[in-house]
Amino acid sequence: MRIAIIGAGNVGGGLAAAATKAGHDVKVVAAHPEHAEKVAAETGATAATPADAAGDADVVVLAVPFGAAAGVLGELGGTVAGKVVVDATNPLDDTFSDLTTVGTSATEQLAAQFPQVKLVKALNTVLAGRLGSATGLDAFYAGDDATAKAAAVELLQSLGFSPVDAGGLRMARSLEEMALLNITLNVRNNWPWQSAWGLSHQGA
């Protein structure tokens, strides 16, 4: 797959390394080009401009703070019209102790603003430190677009995850709460940021 990763922080960098290792053609974008170049040099990905990365991508991944996500999609404009966009963001507040959304999800808000984009929520419940060691881990995803969900499954499986379909985009709210809980547990218990969600398949 041709993957454009928007963001070169912990999540963007971890995903770039995992996706490149899985054999994908990965382009990385950052607000500061030198950050993208650094991640590219470390992972074997390619640093690119937003339009160049998204223009020929099969999947665009938002790996930026949620506050920047709408601006990114707005900047990309028609470049991402009809594209599959994986929203890996979480709408955390400044203290990482709560979500900024009420009664909705970050992804639903983006979907309302950018109806031309095929949005799917995925990878937000996975800590950055586990992106490169996904074997045996469940990865939850949610969306209303069948094409976007199929692309998310292909990507998640290629990285070693076991994809779990959480349902429609409404369930992105639950996935964002799951991410908040995992983050909170690591902070409160001084865990090493390696915990992950797993679904026990009763009766399987």
Q: What is the pLDDT of residues 92-105, one digit of tens each?
A: 999 999 999 999 99
pLDDT at 201 over 80: no
Confidence of residue 48 (pLDDT cuts 50, 70, 90): very high
Judge contact between 150 and 118, C-beta under 8 A.
no
Rounded Cα distance between 86 and 102, Å, is: 21
The whole-model pTM stands at 0.96
At residue 33, does pLDDT exceed 90? yes
The average confidence (pLDDT) of the chain is 96
Six token digits for residue 190: 């001084």
Name the one residue in this structure whose structure tokens are 């703070």: 65
Q: Residue 47: which H helix or E strand, with range?
A: strand 46-47
* Segment 56-107, tens digit of pLDDT: 999 999 999 999 999 999 999 999 999 999 999 999 999 999 999 999 999 9
CA distance 154 to 163: 9
The alpha helices in 79-171, defined as continuous H runs, are: 106-113, 146-158
Specify whether the CB–CB gap between 62 and 122 falls below 8 A.
Answer: no
> pLDDT band for position 203 (50/70/90)?
low
pLDDT above 70: residue 147: yes
pLDDT of residue 11: 97
Q: How many Cβ atoms from other residues are within 10 Å of residue 195's Cβ?
A: 16
Nearest to 153 by CA among 173, 137, 139: 139
Q: Are 6 and 15 in contact (CB under 8 A)?
A: no
Amino acid letter, 21: K
Q: Distance between CA atoms of 177 and 49, rounded to whole angstroms?
A: 32
Residue 134's pLDDT is 87
Output the pLDDT for position 136.
Answer: 83
